Amino acid sequence: MNYAEAEAYIHSFTRFGSQLGLDRMRKLLDLLGNPQDKLKFIHIAGTNGKGSTTKMSATILQEAGYRVGMYISPFVVDFRERFQINGKMIERSEFTSLVEEVDVQVRTLAEQGDYVTEFEVITAIAFLYFERWGCDIVALEVGLGGTYDATNVIRSPECAVITSISMDHVEILGDTLAKIAGEKAGIIKQGGQAVTYPKQEPEALAVLLERCAKVGGRLVCPNAAAVEILRLDVLGSQFRYAEEEYCLKLAGEHQVYNAVAVIEAMAVLRERGFRIPEEAVKNGLKKAVFPARFEIMSQQPLIIVDGAHNRQAAESLADTLKHLDASPKVAIMGMMSDKDYESAVSSVAGQCPVILTVPVEWNPRALTAEALAECASRHCGRVKAFRDYGEALEQALEIAGETGAVIVCGSFYMASDMRKVIRDYLLLPN
């Protein structure tokens, strides 16, 4: 098996299981020697901000001198982004070898009538990889929900972090904020330590507090009023919290509050025996960058890629665009049909007078460019659908001219493909 075959093998599985539960995952890991039980974790769940929070946490811990595993979902550029140690992706040969090893046990389970999912397989590979390399701690991002997510087979983490919770994946997690929060809260274990996003919705926060009371855990709720934002623009921010000043490259006010949750999570880890100097926290936050999180791919012409894919993320993107001194702002949008695309388009249209729609290629859940354009026309005066990414980009750049900006948003899947198109079009290095 070569690398391409190994990745194709992974994608041959169904994405989610038809039956909720962690039994399949536990059986698979038991056959693999339960590598997760030999690791320590900071476990991150939530609707928005999981990836950024995971990245900030991992970067800080690396700055503190630890060997840090990082497991994220989804990837943006390269599938191997999911598995990183101290910021370096898994080698292709090692990934292939681990796939072959896990496949043996996957076949054993299949013979018993247990059929695993794609996410369960890659999570098992991640645990094996991090254990084999002796990671001191793993920043572990939940794939979907929390309670029944494959990552939740771990024992009580050193700290659980619950990022901002909003309505998303309602067909799986529930149709109210309380139900969704209940799923996210499932990563808080008996006697566990947890930190929440400072501006958590009251309905969601109540569920998190109830969960902690039920399991005898502790929930740290950072005081949003104690945050003083000193600078906020498209290049990042500077803020003061707990009498210390911090700088971020990740743009947007929401990233400031994600960072505050991370700062409090590091305080919890210190209580758990980790040595994390304040300088490591500051350096880690300053260095943390992440693809497709208000990523400025080019300044002339100005092109920004953001994975905003639901209402709350689109609102955060729109708030950040308010600080962008460019006109006109042209959005290239592609979205999934199972997202609240009406609200997302409405938020983006508030800052972008022109919206060009594209399909999310090769994805069965994708909304057609024409359907998204029909939706966008209710909120924006100038809308056009494209079936080709390159044509959409060329049109957007023409409309934006020398003083405008092109904002690619709506889906991490689409952002990944558009990043390649942008690089090729502008002859940027990979």
Q: What is the pLDDT of residue 307?
A: 87
Residues of the chain with pLDDT > 70: what percent? 97
Q: Are 303 and 420 in contact (CB under 8 A)?
A: no
Contacts by residues 148-151 (CB-CB < 8 Å, ≥ 24 positions apart) = 148/20, 148/21, 148/22, 148/183, 148/186, 149/45, 149/119, 149/186, 149/187, 150/22, 150/25, 150/117, 150/119, 150/120, 150/123, 151/43, 151/71, 151/123, 151/187
- Per the model's pLDDT, the better-predicted residue between 254 and 174 turns out to be 254
Residue 224 reports pLDDT greater than 80: yes
Q: What is the mean pLDDT of the chain?
A: 93
Q: Are 278 and 244 in contact (CB under 8 A)?
A: yes
Averaged pLDDT, 409-414: 90
Local confidence band at 354 (pLDDT 50, 70, 90 cut-offs): very high
Residue 245 reports pLDDT greater than 80: yes
Residue 218 reports pLDDT greater than 60: yes
Q: What is the pLDDT of residue 171?
A: 59
Max distance between CA atoms of the chain, in angstroms, equals 62
Averaged pLDDT, 59-70: 98
Closest CA to 15 of 182, 149, 107: 149
- Taking only the tens place, the pLDDT of each residue in 3-18 is 999 999 999 997 665 4
Contacts of 62 (CB under 8 A, 6+ apart): 68, 86, 87, 284
Domains of the chain are 3-287 (3.40.1190.10), 295-426 (3.90.190.20)
- Taking only the tens place, the pLDDT of each residue in 80-133 is 999 999 999 999 999 999 999 999 999 999 999 999 999 999 999 999 999 999
- Per the model's pLDDT, the better-predicted residue between 229 and 413 turns out to be 229
Q: What is the pLDDT of residue 146?
A: 92
Local confidence band at 170 (pLDDT 50, 70, 90 cut-offs): low
Sign of CA dihedral 169, 173, 177, 182: negative
Q: What is the pLDDT of residue 76?
A: 82
- Taking only the tens place, the pLDDT of each residue in 14-43 is 766 546 789 999 999 999 999 999 999 999
Residue 52 reports pLDDT greater than 90: yes
pTM as predicted: 0.89
Q: What is the pLDDT of residue 151?
A: 97
Residue 282 reports pLDDT greater than 70: yes
Residue 338 φ/ψ region, left for φ over 0, alpha for ψ in the -120 to 50 degree band, beta for the rest:
alpha
Residues of the chain with pLDDT > 90: what percent? 83
Averaged pLDDT, 348-371: 91
Q: What is the pLDDT of residue 125?
A: 98
Helix (H) or strand (E) holding 296: strand 295-299
- Per the model's pLDDT, the better-predicted residue between 134 and 307 turns out to be 134
Residue 281 reports pLDDT greater than 70: yes
Q: What is the pLDDT of residue 7?
A: 95
Q: What is the pLDDT of residue 172?
A: 60
Helix (H) or strand (E) holding 60: helix 50-63
Local confidence band at 430 (pLDDT 50, 70, 90 cut-offs): low
Q: Are 336 and 309 in contact (CB under 8 A)?
A: yes
Q: Three-class SS of residue 384?
A: strand
